[in-house]
Amino acid sequence: MHVPKVVEIKRIIQETETVKTFIFDWKVDEEYPGQFMMVWNFEDEKPMSLSLIDPVKEEIGISIKKVGKFTEATHLLNVGDRLGLRGPYGRGFQIAGLKILAVGGGIGMAPVAAFAEEATARGVEVEVISAAPTEEELLFLDRLKKCGINLRSCTDDGSYGFSGFGTDLAEELLETNEYDMIVTCGPEIMMKKLADIADKFEIPAQFSLERYMKCGVGICGQCCVDNVGWRICKEGPVFWRDELRLITEFGEYRRDASGMKHSLL
C-alpha cells in the first residue's frame, strides 16, 4: 500500500514563473481535496497537496513551487519523465454548508483549488479568494473562473484585484455576506489571522497545516505538533478551528528536519 507508484508525467502547466502543475493519469478512487501525495524523484521524497482531482478524465495533479533542491529538480522534468507517487494521505477538507468562503495564499491555493472544484461540482456555492504578493504570482484564475466559481483576486502590492492581504478581503466579505464555513491554506501567519476572523464572525473554519514530513504515514513522528502530539500527516493536515486551539504552536513556531524550532513571527 505504501509503495510508490511510478507514473509518467502526462502534462505540465507553467502556472507562474515559479509554479508548475504536473498532471498524471490516475484512477481516482478515494482522493479528496486537502489530502497530499508523497512525491519521490528517486533521490528524495516530499509531501505535495493534490491540486487537481478529476475522476472523469482519471487524472490528478500536483502544483509545485520552486523553493529548494527537490522542487528545483522537479521543475527540470519534462512530459514523459517519471515520478513515484505514494498516497493519497492525511485528512482532507470536509464539504459542509451551502455557501463557503475559501481563502488560498500563494501555493496554498493548490488544495484550495481542488476543494473549490469539488464543492462546486457537489452544488455548493464557493467564493474563492486567491491571494499572492503580485499579479504574476496569482494562481489558477482562469481554471477556477471556467468552472463558475466566484473568484476574488487579491495582491499585497495592489497590482491586480483587491489591494491588500487576503485576510482583509475575507473580513470585508464576511461583513456583508453570509457564509456557512471558511476553508483555508496558506502561510501560517495568514491562517492565524483567519482563525481570529472566524472567531469574530462565529463561523466554522478548516485550516490546512504544513509541517516537515518524512514518512507521511504517521510512523516517524517528525510532524508532531505541541502540545497534543497530533501528527500533521495523519490527524491532519486539515484541522477544524476547535482542534486548532489545542495546537499551541500554531502561528508561533514550526520545527525543521532536525526538530529545531523556528519562530513564525
Rounded-to-integer distance, Cα 179 and Cα 87, Å: 32
Q: Which stretch binds ligand FAD (CB under 6 A): 6-14, 64-72, 78-86, 151-159?
A: 64-72
- Tallying the residues shown for the chain, one arrives at 265
Q: Which stretch binds ligand FAD (CB under 6 A): 60-68, 144-152, 153-161, 191-199?
A: 60-68
For residue 264, how many C-alpha atoms fall within 13 Å in the half-sphere facing its CB? 18
SS3 243: helix
Our CA angle for 128, 190, 246, nearest 5°, is: 110
Q: Which stretch binds ligand FAD (CB under 6 A): 56-64, 115-123, 126-134, 194-202?
A: 56-64
Decide: 34 and 208 in contact? Cβ < 8 Å: yes
> Of residues 9-38, which lie at the interface with ligand FAD (CB under 6 A)?
36
Q: Which stretch binds ligand FAD (CB under 6 A): 41-49, 78-86, 117-125, 132-140?
A: 41-49
In angstroms, what is the minimal distance from the CB of 228 to ligand FAD? 17
Q: Which of 81, 194, 87, 178 is nearest to 125 (CA)?
A: 178
3-state SS record for 132-200: ECCHHHCCCHHHHHHCCCEEEEEECCCCCCEECCHHHHHHHHHHHCCCCEEEEECCHHHHHHHHHHHHH
List, as one string, the DSSP characters of 35-90.
-EEEEE-SS-EEEEEEEEEETTTTEEEEEEE--SHHHHHHHT--TT-EEEEEEEES
Q: Select the residue interacting with ligand FAD from 213, 224, 225, 238 (CB under 6 A).
A: 213
In angstroms, what is the minimal distance from the CB of 35 to ligand FAD? 9
Closer residue to ligand FAD (CB): 88 or 161: 88
Q: Select the residue interacting with ligand FAD from 53, 102, 107, 112 (CB under 6 A).
A: 107
Under the binding rule (CB under 6 A), the answer on residue 212 touching ligand FAD is: yes
Q: Select the residue interacting with ligand FAD from 69, 145, 245, 261 (CB under 6 A).
A: 69
Which x/- pattern, by CB under 6 A, does the window 70-89 give for ligand FAD?
Answer: xx------------------
Q: Which of 59, 1, 48, 2 is nearest to 25 (CA)?
A: 59
In angstroms, what is the minimal distance from the CB of 89 to ligand FAD? 8
Under the binding rule (CB under 6 A), the answer on residue 207 touching ligand FAD is: no
SS3 262: strand
Under the binding rule (CB under 6 A), the answer on residue 52 touching ligand FAD is: no
Q: Which stretch binds ligand FAD (CB under 6 A): 22-30, 68-76, 157-165, 192-200?
A: 68-76
Q: Which positions touch ligand FAD (CB under 6 A)?
A: 36, 46-49, 51, 62-65, 67-71, 107, 110, 210-213, 237
